[in-house]
Amino acid sequence: MADILVKKILVVDDEPAIREMLITSLGVAGFECLEAADIQDAYWLITDQLPDLVLLDWMLPGGSGIELLERLRKEEATRFLPVIMLTAKTDEESIIQGLDMGAHDYITKPFSPKELLARIRALFRSVEGGSKREQLRVGDLVLEVDSHRITMGPSVLSVGPKEFKLLQFFMEHPERAFSRAQLLERIWEANVFVQERTIDVHIRRLRKVLEDVNPSYSDLIQTVHGTGYRFSPRDLG
């Protein structure tokens, strides 16, 4: 069975008690957590760790969560990063502003941890089409998570365990650019030293396997100069 990738959530709030409550609740629910108290630390963690979701407070030291959200939406690597706004603002204008800026959801304080967890799970289902899908599909390319099998039409693709996990991760996070360091962190075990260029070797293998079956599929994994790699099915014919 394929390894389950633990979702990483960044909690951004300047109130320590709220951060602690959220991190405890999320940890019990099986999520990995990062935390930041201001937009500078939040932006650094996002660019360095690239979490799967950001819980973003509206009012923060050094600027507002809306300003950070606007910046994230302008940058290639974070354009589609899921964000849920946390705020005491309840007026309709503020809610509309947050959603218009690209927030995926909006929850007002005070809130129930159970409600927040329900919204987080719903968001992951919406973004990925199901948080624990048995099958991922892009065109004729099908990755069966439980059976650890990859097919393209009638052909069965032969890949190693790391290439399988790498392709699974890419297919679950389309159109997002990841650095080599970020890919190593998500695919390799903790406390195992692996050179960043190892990623290049596995990418080449994946591209070769895809190209051997259908040359047009070798371009699914794109090199993003100065960043790393992106899985982009957008131009697949």
Domain range summary for the chain, segments of one domain joined by +: 8-128, 135-231
Q: Are 228 and 182 in contact (CB under 8 A)?
A: yes
Total-model pTM: 0.58
**Structure confidence at residue 159 (pLDDT):** 84
**Structure confidence at residue 4 (pLDDT):** 46
User: Does the domain made of 135-231 have the CATH classification 1.10.10.10?
Assistant: yes
Which segments of the chain have a pLDDT < 50? 1-4, 130-132
Tell me whether the CATH fold assigned to 8-128 matches the one assigned to 135-231.
Answer: no
**Structure confidence at residue 15 (pLDDT):** 92
**Structure confidence at residue 95 (pLDDT):** 75
Q: What is the fold, at CATH topology level, of the domain defined by 8-128? A: Rossmann fold (3.40.50)
